[in-house]
Amino acid sequence: MKIGIKVGDIMTRNFISVKPSTPILECAKKMVKKRVGSLILKESDKLKGIITEGDIIWAMTKKSKKELSMIKAEDIAPKKLVTIRPSADLYQALQLMKRTKYRWLPVTVKGNVIGFLTLKDILRIEPSLFESASEIMQIREESEKLKRVKAGETFKEGICEECGNFDIIYKVDNRMLCESCRDAM
């Protein structure tokens, strides 16, 4: 199935990048400043990797404060790189994202990185692909709801009698409470 829209038409051309030797604490600061969840690692326009906020969080939980200051982006970036050509159809990009479980793809031509494509970019242009994309995205709230349904727990939406928030409410001791208030009891 082709959509007729090429990756090169919607990719981000002004992506945020750093050198592979950049310390991860500097990468984290750059992500916060630029409000992005990942950075392209490149040297002389050659793609060397990608580092995500998840990679940085992983390093922060596994390493001491002293070690963190010495870790470079290339040390924790995934070794396997999955890329796509700018001439590829958006549907091909989505299928590749599905297969690899990545929500982003660097766009390359002969090893040179020229753009960056995210799942958000695709859905912004072609919302009808949400069904296909939902397999990639991890919608925690929905999976939590399904767990409650399978456990036989009944719930409905309404106003919590304790905090006054509109949420999924549960009957607890003849009171209607949201999950937070219920768990706090």
Task: Show the domains of the chain with their CATH numbers.
Answer: 7-133 (3.10.580.10), 140-184 (no CATH)
Q: Is the pLDDT of residue 177 over 90?
A: no
Q: Which residues contact 11 (CB under 8 A, 6 or more apart)?
A: 86, 107, 114, 115, 116, 117, 121
Distance CA 19, CA 47 (A): 10
In tens, the pLDDT along 52-70 reads: 998 998 888 888 878 888 9
Considering only residues 144 and 153, tell me which one the structure prediction assigns the higher pLDDT.
144
- Across 99-103, 121-125, 167-171, the highest mean pLDDT is recorded for 99-103
pLDDT of amino acid 139: 47
